[in-house]
Structure 1
Amino acid sequence: MAAGAALCALAISGCAPEPTPGSQNSDPLPSATVPAPNGGSIDETVAPVAPGETLEAKLGDTAELEGGVNVTVSEVEQLDVKAVTPGEIAGPAVALTLTVENDSDESVDLSTAMVSVTGSKDSFGQPTTSEPYSPFLGSVEPGKSISGIYVFRLPAEERDSLQVTVEYVAGAPIALFTGDV
C-alpha cells in the first residue's frame, strides 16, 4: 500500500520534484512585447496591391516596362547545385542572370524583386541560395544598370522550355519571359 500511495503522489505532482534552494531557477521564462521591425501590428490590414500589366518577351530579349525600367534575362545556365541551407535539395537547376536598366529619372529599389520560374511541365522552380546565387541588392540609379543571379531547382526534363516572371516591386509591370534553354 505504501508503494502505491507513493506512485499516486508522484502521478498527481507530475513526477517533477520541487526545486530546492540553489538548484535551477523556478521562475517562468521572461516575456516582453517586441515591436515589429518596420512598425505596425498584427491588428493592421495591409491594402492589397493589384498586379501590374504583364509584358511578354523571349528569353534573351529586353522587356521595356512602363516607367523606364528595362529587364533582360541575359543568360540561362543549366547546372547541378549543392544544398546550402537547411531544407534545400541538391540536383538539377537553372541559374538566371537578370539585368535591370533604369531609364527613368528616379532611383528604382530592387530589394524586393520577385522572380519565379515555371518548367515545361508547368512545375514551379524551387528557389535556392546555391552558387552562383547573387540577387539584386539595393537600388539602381537613373541611367545605370545592375545584374543579379537567381537559381532555381528544376528537374532536368523540364529545363528545355521555361517561363520566367520578374516583378521588380509589388504592383509594377511584370516581365514574362518564355523560351527554350
Structure 2
Amino acid sequence: MSEGVSAAGRVPSRARWWAIAVVALVVVVVLVVALAGSRGAGREGGALAAPTPSATSTGAVAGATARADDPSGAGSVDGTAPPADPPAAGAPADGGHVPTVTVPIDAVAELAEAVTARLSAVDAVDGEAVQPGEVGGPALRVEIELVNGSTAPLDLRGAVVNLYHGPQQTPATALTEPGGSPLPHGLEAGATATGAFVFAVPADARDDVRVELDVRAVGPVVLFAGAAQR
C-alpha cells in the first residue's frame, strides 16, 4: 500500500518540474525577443536623429564663390566667378609677355595711347647710406615723369625702376638719399606724377647708362639709354 502511494506522489512532482522548465524557456525566449527589438529601435532612432547640413547652419550659400578682393566674402551665388575688374588703361589684352622698348635717354616714351613717360632729370649726386645695407658714394638721381592723358586711371602699385651701367650693364644698387621718392600708387586721368630714384653709379661707368621703367599695368618695359653726368 505504501509503495502505491509513493509512486503516485512521484508523478505530480515530475510534472511540476516539466512545467517549470517550459515556463523558464518561454521567459528566456521573451527576453531575447525584447532585447533584439530594443536594439533595432535604438539604431533606427539614431539614424533619424542624425542632423542634416543646411545653408543656415554652415553660414554659406551652396555654390557661392568668394573673391579674394571682396571684403564681404559674399561672392557669386550661382556658382560662377564674379566678373574681373576691367584692365587699366593700355594694359595688354592677352596678359602675355610685355615687350621691351629702348629709347634715347632724353626721349619721351609712349607707354600707351595718351600715356607717356620721360626722364625729367638725371643728376650726379653723392649717395647717402641711410638704410641697412646701403653704401654711400657717387650716385645718380633719376627723376621720372608720367603723364596720363587717357580717360582711365593708371595703377602704379607695381611700377619698377632699375638702372644698369657700363659695358656689362651691371645692375646699380638703389639708395634712399638724397631726395629719393617713389611714384604714387595711382595716377588719375589727366594727371601727372613724378618719382625720384637714387642709384650708386661710379663716375667712370656713366657713358652707357640704361634706366629701366616697368609700369606693368600699362604698355611695354622702357629702357632709357645714353650717357649721364659724371
Comparing 103-112 with 85-94, greater Cα deviation is found at: 103-112
Q: For residues 128-177 of structure 1, what are the alpha-carbon distances to aligned partners after superposition, in whole Å with 9 as ceiling and x for unaligned?
A: 11221011022111111111101111122112321111011267411111
Q: CA deviation at 1:60?
A: 1.8
Q: Deviations over 1:47-96 (max 9, x none)?
A: xx744122222112100122432110111001111100111001111100
SS of aligned partner of 2:204 = helix
CA contact (8 A) 1:94 1:159 kept: no
Q: What secondary structure is seen at the aligned counterpart in 2 of 1:100?
A: strand
Task: Tell me, yes or no, if structure 1 residue 108 matches structure 2 residue 127.
Answer: no
Q: Does 1:80 align with 2:110?
A: no
RMSD value over aligned CA atoms? 2.1
Question: Which residue of structure 1 aligns with residue 107 of structure 2?
Answer: 61
- Residue of structure 2 equivalent to 1:135: 182
In structure 2, the residue matched to 1:179 is 226
Amino acid at match of 2:176: T
8 A contact 1:51–1:173 mirrored in 2:
no
- Determine the C-alpha separation between the residues in 2 that align with 1:86 and 1:77: 24
Which has the larger strand fraction? 1
Contact in 2 for aligned 1:124/1:154 (Cα 8 Å): no
* Structure 2 residues without counterparts, runs of 5 or longer: 1-68, 71-94
> What's the secondary structure of 1:130's corresponding residue?
coil
Q: Which runs of 5+ in 1 are unaligned?
A: 1-37, 40-48
Of structures 1 and 2, the one scoring higher in RCO (CA 8 A, sep 6+) is 1
Cα pair 1:55 1:174 within 8 Å, conserved: yes
Which ranges of 4 or more aligned residues in structure 1 deviate by more than 6 Å? none
Q: Indicate if the aligned counterparts of 1:106 and 1:141 stay in contact, CA closer than 8 A.
A: yes
Higher normalized helix content (fraction of residues): 2
Query: For the residues of structure 1 that align with 2:101 and 2:118, how far apart are their CA atoms?
Result: 12
TM-score, structure 1 as length reference: 0.68
CA distance in 1, matches of 2:222, 2:141: 17
Distance 2:171 2:188 in 1: 32
Percent identity of the aligned residues? Answer: 30
